[in-house]
Structure formats: structure tokens, C-alpha cells
With several copies, the nearest count.
Chain A
């Protein structure tokens, strides 16, 4: 399978910004169920800056670009999302320094590094009902597909979106064990985690953007794309 170009990654980031801004209020409403209703606004604040300053961002290579994104997040994004997404971009940047294209293997390594960084920062494990419950399965599909599982990038994208989508319903019943939601005990059960939903929505929109046909499963996605 052919490498993933920096242009494709840039397009994915711009798509993500559009998705986050479009869903600002929806993500905040989801965060209101067991949290404090600011998730959408916090993310949107950061991606609005990224979108507005897009042209001026140093894109010498993938790593440089991701480092700049990490700095923008650290400057503008508050709440848990700031440190989490800022750390994620930062760690991904460190393993893509100097590269202007990456193999699927290298992309998986970037996500793996981001996951490790987020875990180190916030102490969450798989099953704690945080966005890691979406990112970790997605990382597995990337590694599997890199090992020859997928025909092309489209198929890989679909596998990733499937994994994130599945995570929504798989974690819905759990009590959160990290993040603000973990401080409300059983009141967090039977509400979807907004971070997991956000990852799934973003990947679904990536599929659409790259012309990959896929029917979403979780109600949060069908509502969203509806």
C-alpha cells in the first residue's frame, strides 16, 4: 500500500477542524450528561485557531506541523482536552520529525506514541471510559492493516472508523474511572463518553471526505450524520 503523504494528513486535520466546529454544541451537550458541558467549546476553541491560522502554520514536515498544532492547543485549549490533545499531537510530532510522508506502519507508530503520552499524562487505561477506549482499538486496526490486513487506505480508514464506532456502545454502560465523569460514580454509567464519540465522528467524517462508504452504527453517529 502506498505511503500517506503530508498533504493527506493536512487534509485530515482540516477535516477534523471542520468536524469539531460543526459539532461544538453537540459535543458540549454530550459532556453535560455526566460532565460539565464544555468539551465541544474547548475543542472548538483550539481548532478554530488552527483553522484561522492554517496558512501561517509552519508545515516544513509532518513533525514540525504537528508540533505547531500541539503548541496552539497548549496555548488555547483548556479543560482536560488541552493537555490530552496537546500531548497527543506532541508525541505524534516527535516520531514524525523530518518526514513529509509516512508509511501506515509509521502512522500507527505516531498514534501509538500519542496514546502512550496521553496515558502518561492522565493515567487512564483501556476501559476507563475515556477517548483512549476509541484510540487504542483504532491503533490496533492500523497495526493489523499495516501488517498487510488492508487493501488500501480506504479500507484502513473504514476499519478505524468501525473500531471507534464500536467503542461508543461498548463503553456506554461503564462507569468512568478517569476524568471529571469518574467523579460522579454510577451517574456516569449509561451515558456515552463525549471523547469517544468525538473520535468516532471525526473518523466517520474522514471516511466521507475520502469517499469511503460506511454506515455508522452508534445512535450518536446516526444522529450526527442525520
Chain B
């Protein structure tokens, strides 16, 4: 296993400890519940925005905690939603008079854990609401299933809601805002390799040397199909078309464009994809107002990338431009 790991069972708490040590003034870390929160939260004058999900998607989700972003987040084991207790304690520790908004990526495990935790918290009189993020267009939505998956679009929901919460928006306003962002953001990804969860010690799926998984999930779940690896531009075109046609986006739209690395793909390749995606957006008559190239929602060391488009309006543009700070920094 080509990984920096000590005891695989301790992988998650160990990297969370690193995050805390690297941000002593900003964050508190509670190992018992694998919970990271802002030192200055909760603040009764504003809603607490929290999340909790499986690990392996870093910087999502615990590394997205900070001013203008999340107030706190708890993590489960790699790819496993957090235990019910961790979700409950997260709500409890971040309970604010203004309320708590839980941003849940749409997976059954996360939903069941948060549903249970929210019931327990409400029973204690805590004001809390949930929102389910589901931006992945890879698998067609269906009434009879759990619905679409939540992937990299998650970043935009957090950024917008976090910025609005900082400005003092109410719980209901934030819920409406989360829905607005989610309704206007779409993503699809592709994997060139499978990742290896430390505790599993083996790949989740097998890909041939010349194969890719189109529409892969961020936990290595299958996507639309297995195919031969194509030139970067052809791959970008397929992601772009799938995403652009879903809402659909229209000529004249002002958009934010994201190329998200899945963990093992270097920045240089992501910019090759961005160059094509940007050109396609301009051809389609979209105005790229903001762009994001890097790692936002990963799948451990999986080689691959996802493309996300968010339709903007003046409110969203202002919220995306608002100052924010998270555990991961450049300078």
C-alpha cells in the first residue's frame, strides 16, 4: 500500500490531529467524536453551519471549517458516514439560539445518521434543520431510489451558506439559499484509478491500464460506464456536456466553473482539463465569472477529476466573493 499511514484504524484521528495542530488559533478538535469546530463557535447571533460525512474526501469536510465556511464538521471512518453519536454531539456543541443548519451530502448512510441525530437534538429543544446536497448527474435521478449523490458541488453550498450565515441570515433564509445553490449546481466525475482505503488495504474496483470509470462516485462507486481512456479534451467534453445539459445551462448564463481533482491527479493535468472546459463554456455562451481548479472533494489518492458548473446571480456572486478561511491554506 503506497501510503503514509501508521495503524490504519487510527488514520482518520491522526490526520485530524494534524489539521488541529496546523490551526491552533482557529480550530478545536474532539477526538472522541472525530469533530473539528471553530474555536469561536457557536455564536448565538448567527446560525451554525455544520456537516459530517465519511473521511477520504479531504479537504472536504473537516478542512472546510473556518470563518465564512463551516462552523464544525465530524467525520466517520474512510467513506463511512459518522456514527449517530458523533452527529448528535456535533449539533449539540454547535447549537446556537439562531439555530443549526446541517448540510448533508445525499447518501443513505449520512441521511440516516443525521435524521437520528436531529431527532435526538430536537427532543432536547435544539433548533436544527437539514439540507441534502445532490449535484452528481452521473446516475439519472429516480423517485424509487435515494436520488442523486452529493459530490464537489458541496463546496459551493458551503461557501454561499457560510458567507450568508456570517452576515447573519436566518435559518430559514439559509435553508432557502442552500436549496437555490443546489438547484443551480451540477457535477460529473471520471476516475482513472481506484483508491485504496487504508483499512481495506486493497482497491475498491479494478480498472484496466487503459480504462477509466465515467461518472464515478467519490467513494469509488460505479458511474455511467467503463470505457477506454480517451484524450483529455474528449473526456472534458463528455463531462461538460453531461453537466451542461442537465439543468440545462443557457447561453448568457454567468457561471462558476470548477475542475476538482480526485486526489491523485496533479495540478498540471487539472489545468489541461480547465483549458478545455473554459473554451467549451465560452463556445456555449456562458460567462465564466469565477473559476476553481484544485482539490475540493477527493477520493483519497484516486486519479481522476470532476467538472462542476454553478449558475450564478448577483447574490451568489457576492457570496462566493466574500472572505473566507479554512484549515487548508497556501500562504
Contacts and interface: CB of A to CB of B under 8 A. Distances in A.
Q: DSSP majority for the A interface?
A: helix
Contacts, number: 142
Given A32-B205, A36-B220, A74-B84, A177 B108 contact: no
B221 to A, nearest CB: 5
A188 B222 CA distance: 8
A180 to B, nearest CB: 6
A187 interface: yes
Given A79-B80, A87-B116, A122-B112, 12 more contacts: A25-B202, A37-B200, A78-B76, A82-B80, A82-B84, A82-B112, A83-B116, A86-B116, A180-B146, A180-B217, A180-B219, A182-B142
B197 interface: yes
A87 B119 CA distance: 13
Interface residues of A, number: 41
Interface string A167-210: 00000000011111111110110000000000000000000000
Contacts of A20: none
A188 B113 CA distance: 23
B145 A45 contact: no
B83 A183 contact: no
Nearest to A82: B83
Contacts of B107: 180, 183
Given A42-B80, A75-B85, A178 B205 contact: no
B82 interface: yes
Contact of B200 (A34, A38, A187, A188): A38
B331 interface: no
B84 A86 contact: yes
B59 interface: no
Contacts of A75: 83-85
A83 B109 contact: yes
18 contacts: A29-B202, A32-B204, A37-B197, A38-B197, A38-B200, A41-B77, A41-B199, A82-B109, A177-B145, A182-B142, A182-B144, A182-B145, A182-B146, A183-B149, A184-B221, A184-B222, A184-B223, A185-B142
A42 B204 CA distance: 15
Given A79-B109, A121-B116, A36 B222 contact: no
Interface in A139-189: 176-185, 187-188
A168 B222 CA distance: 21
Given A178-B146, A184-B221, A28 B108 contact: no
A122 B114 CA distance: 12
A77 interface: yes
